[in-house]
Amino acid sequence: MIRKFINEDEHNWDHWLDPLLFAVREVPQVSTGFSPFELLFGRRPRGVLDLINESWEDGPSPAKNEIQYVLDLRAKLHTLGRLSRENLLQAQQRQQCLYDRGARFRQFSPGDKVLVLLPTSSSKLLAKWQGPFVVTRRVGDVDYEVARSDRGGATQIYHLNLLKLWREVETASLVSLVKERDELGPEVPNSIIPTSLPCDDHLTQAQRADVVALQQRFADEFDILHFDWLCLTGLTDKMRADFSIMKDLSTHTRLTPEQREGRLNRFITNIQRNADAQAELDKWGLSFDNQLLNLAGRVLPVERIYQRSRSYDYNPWAADWAKEMRGLAVISAPPLNNWLLFHTRRNSNEASSLLQNLSRVSGPLGITMGKPVVVVLPNNRKDRYDSVKKFLCVDRPTPSQCVVARTLSRPQALMTIATKIALQMACKMGGELWSVEIPLKQLMIVGIDCYHDTAAGKRSIGALVASLNQSMSRWFSKCVLQHKGQEIMDELKKTLSAALKEYLRFNGCLPSRIIVYRDGVGDGQLHSVVNYEVQQIMDSIKSMGQDYNPKLSVVVVRKRISSRFFAHINGKVSNPPPGTIIDAEVTRPEWYDFYIVSQAVRSGSVSPTHYNVVYDTSGLKPDHMQRLTYKLCHMYYNWQGIIRVPAPCQYAHKLAFLVGQSIRKEPNMKLDDQLFYL
């Protein structure tokens, strides 16, 4: 029963003994019909609520002298003992009938190989089948003596229920290695069983056994298994959590620009040398150039970052300013008073270290600690995180910050971690960390994104985030639940109207210019965005008054693209510097589109972002639209650097992801003006 109370860490079972014993002692047992407490003391356990209920309904109990009380107690204990024995006998008979229905006679002979159900080395509360071991002799009706080969042949007696016969699986296979997938060659008849799996070195013993079982189960359905079908695909969760595996894998998947260019050139050369490939291309009138396309791009100037006491430039190639802002006060931070820290008892040391470092770093940042709830989780179990977020985002709207205890177990990085946590807590309360210069006045920036959960019955989430102030540091957030797989937002008019009303309340006027960045739609959905979502935006604007006619731009943002750009710098092929603009030669002539490489990457090739202006009455020049888009990539408060998309797009993605993954309900409206989802 203790196993039901322990979590993944099986070493904390002793913490649960007191509540477990309390529950066992006070709850009536199915077998006896009474609780152990009542059988021992002759009365039911009475808590505070029981005492209050009795005094309210029954009044004071009649007085008894000591002799009468003892006589009554003895009689009651005698009655309880008799009734419990009768109930126990009936329960035993019922259990015997149920067990006998599925029971079958089993016996072992000396020399039989068996598996034994033994506790694991990691926890005595967990057991698994181990062996095989050899039965030496039978001891009584249900006990057998078994020789443990893992203990030098020492013998031990086990009950029949802890033993099961071990069956040695014969080596078999229906696998044949062939050179061509489409020409499998001669079939292997079912009656012919090869003695071993060809080229099966990459299969474990369990996987080989699975192949044999598959062959035996479906022998009538097919005569041959192609060897390629045995290749394992994808990554398991254990592999993804292994840092060494992922690091080794990245050397093959994250190609440097020089490696990627070399592979593309070899690919083109191989196609041009292949007669069959050339014949197929000629049918379509297609051909490949001998080299990659050379084109001219532009690099935008470095943006200046503004904080409360000073402004500064950052390293343009690194594209982050974590070092520059160290020790500088943020623009504004509400006082974080009355804040709570929840943690498990075993994580008390990590929690104390977090408190000390938060108080140490918050002063230079200009943050006074206060109102959000900080939850230190013992691990990253999703169900626990979901419960915390759902309670604090829906039932009791409170900005919260969850921290995994393992993150706090590295003393050398604790100051950096505490700084990031303090910044997150500040901006979740409505703080403003930094800003860049935005020359356009009365401007509202809107980001829209959708999240889709592939699990059955899960609904899609549409999220909208809109700016409220000139510096793009305060945001209004709203999300809606949609049908499964739906990308186009049905309630865009409603959510944008709410954002416009909040902008009016915050500034005393409506925006004269609105720019919407729509993320998550492909080329095939552009017509739906223009014909359906843009119309909803126009209807939302009209709902604010007949005389209200702001300038409007709608930009579709695409991250998942196949285009890659390389820069030739000092004779070497490298990634383009952050701020690179490409708006010619590779863009569509019928579109108003451009590419921006805004972020920097430490390994591999950088991926550009494609922007397509599908609706525009702003009158802005393309250069101004590109410059504004790049500026907004600096304003994501969860990263002290430039990100791949404008900040409102990333905020909308974070909101939709949190609601779709954890909350699955619309957040409480009291959190609409806070970045609670970072």
The 3 state secondary structure assigned to 612-623 is EEEEECCCCCHH
Do residues 115 and 163 touch, judged by C-beta distance below 8 A? yes
Q: Angle at Cα 416 formed by Cα 410 and Cα 418, nearest 5°? A: 85
User: Which residue in 519, 533, 610, 634 is the catalytic one?
Assistant: 519
Do residues 358 and 418 touch, judged by C-beta distance below 8 A? yes
Tokens linked to 671 = 């959190």
3-class secondary structure, 412 = helix
Q: How far apart are CA 320 and CA 322, in angstroms?
A: 6
Strands 475-482 and 460-467: antiparallel
Residues 6+ apart with CB under 8 A from 315: none
Q: Angle at Cα 237 formed by Cα 649 and Cα 424, nearest 5°? A: 35
- For the packed helices 348-365 and 414-428, what is the interaxial angle rounded to 10 degrees? 70
556, with CB counted inside 10 A (0-12, 13-18, 19+), is: buried
User: Which residue in 449, 502, 533, 593 is the catalytic one?
Assistant: 449
Phi, psi of 404 (to 5 degrees): -80, 135
- Side chain identity at 559, as an amino acid letter? K
Residues 6+ apart with CB under 8 A from 506: 468, 469, 474
Q: Is 487 a catalytic residue?
A: yes
User: Which residue in 145, 487, 583, 666 is the catalytic one?
Assistant: 487
Tokens linked to 528 = 């739906």
Q: Is 10 a catalytic residue?
A: no
Please choose, from the candidates 450, 494, 412, the residue with its C-alpha nearest in 3D space to the C-alpha of residue 669: 494
Tokens linked to 611 = 């922007």
Which residues are known to be catalytic? 449, 487, 519, 653
